Amino acid sequence: MARARAARTASAKRGYHHGDLRRALIDTTLKVISEEDVAAVSLRAVARRAGVTYAAPYHHFRDKNALLAAVAVEGYRALRHEVERALARAPRRPAARLQALAQSYIRFGVAHPAHYRVMFRPDLGDPAQEPELDAAAGQAFHGLLLIIAELRGPGTGAEELERLAITAWSMVHGLVSLWNEGPLRNKTARPSVKPFADEVVRQLERLLTR
């Protein structure tokens, strides 16, 4: 029972039943996205590479968008994990914590462009169509709000906090987006985001100094 299930899960596509096709489909999708492009993801190709026929995925995902949404949700989880790790090992100094937050965010976005692009629905369907995705994005923003509030200390209004958080998010997301989508890479001839990330972080610190 548990043994057989575990074995099948490990060796994947053994018999008629796959074991954990849902997991395999998400992984394969990610692989396709990194190797080619998010636009190159076809349900049929993913199913093929996962060792099942084209209709099998429909027993695990409502449609293609649902698959991509699941990938995005996982991306948010990974991002959060990464950021929390960076914050955990950062010094307690507020400036250092902000720096760790921003740097880890940018690093994640640049290191995993495939995941990152899917997270920010390039062309996914309705907004709140995927509640899980919406929740994941909401958590991410809420976490950012908390950290900004912590860094700013008490005595900052909720509205101002929101404005600051959004400005901060815009800066890091903008940099990642511009870098990943090409406009920057082609125009700067610089091989690394590092200097730009540093500059963004430097400017970000001014957000805290009122």
Partner DNA sequence: CTCCAATCTTGACGGCGCTCAGATACCAAT
Partner DNA sequence: ATTGGTATCTGAGCGCCGTCAAGATTGGAG
35: contact with DNA by CB under 7 A? no
Query: x/- binding map, residues 32-51, to a second copy, per CB under 8 A?
Result: -----xxx------------
**Quick one: which segment of 38-46, 86-94, 149-157, 158-166 binds DNA (CB under 7 A)?**
38-46
Query: Using CB distances below 5 to 8 A depending on partner kind, what does residue 5 bind out of DNA, a second copy, none?
Result: DNA
Binder among 9, 23, 31, 45 for DNA (CB under 7 A): 45
**Is residue 171 at the binding interface for a second copy, with CB under 8 A as the rule?**
yes
Binding to a second copy, residues 98-157 (CB under 8 A): 120-123, 127-128, 134, 137-138, 141
Residue among 63, 32, 114 at smallest CA distance from 24: 32
State which residue, 36 or 84, has the beta carbon closest to a second copy: 36
- When the beta carbons of 12 and 95 are compared against a second copy, the nearer one is 95
Write the DSSP assignment of the chain as a string of letters: -HHHHHHHHHH-S-SSS-S-HHHHHHHHHHHHHHHT-GGG--HHHHHHHHTS-TTGGGGT-SSHHHHHHHHHHHHHHHHHHHHHHHHHTS-S-HHHHHHHHHHHHHHHHHH-HHHHHHHT-SS-S-STTSHHHHHHHHHHHHHHHHHHHHHH-SS--HHHHHHHHHHHHHHHHHHHHHHHHSHHHHHH--S-SHHHHHHHHHHHHTTT--
Please identify, using beta-carbon distances, which residue of 53 and 192 lies nearer to a second copy.
192
Q: Is 64 in the site for a second copy (CB under 8 A)?
A: no
d(CA 200, CA 168) in angstroms, rounded, equals: 9
The distance of closest approach from Cβ of residue 104 to DNA in the complex, given in angstroms and rounded to an integer, is 33
Which 53-82 residues touch DNA, going by CB under 7 A?
Answer: 53-56, 58-60, 63-65
Taking the complex as a whole, the smallest distance from the CB of residue 193 to a second copy amounts, in Å, to 9
CA distance 76 to 72: 6
User: Residue 153 corresponds to which tokens in the numbers above?
Assistant: 């200390």
Give the integer Cα–Cα distance in Å for 142 and 197.
23
Q: Which residue ranges make up the site for a second copy (CB under 8 A)? A: 37-39, 120-123, 127-128, 134, 137-138, 141, 159, 162-164, 166-167, 169-175, 177-178, 181-188, 195-196, 199-200, 203, 206-207
Point out which residues bind DNA (CB under 7 A).
Answer: 1, 4-5, 8, 15-19, 21, 41-45, 52-56, 58-60, 63-65
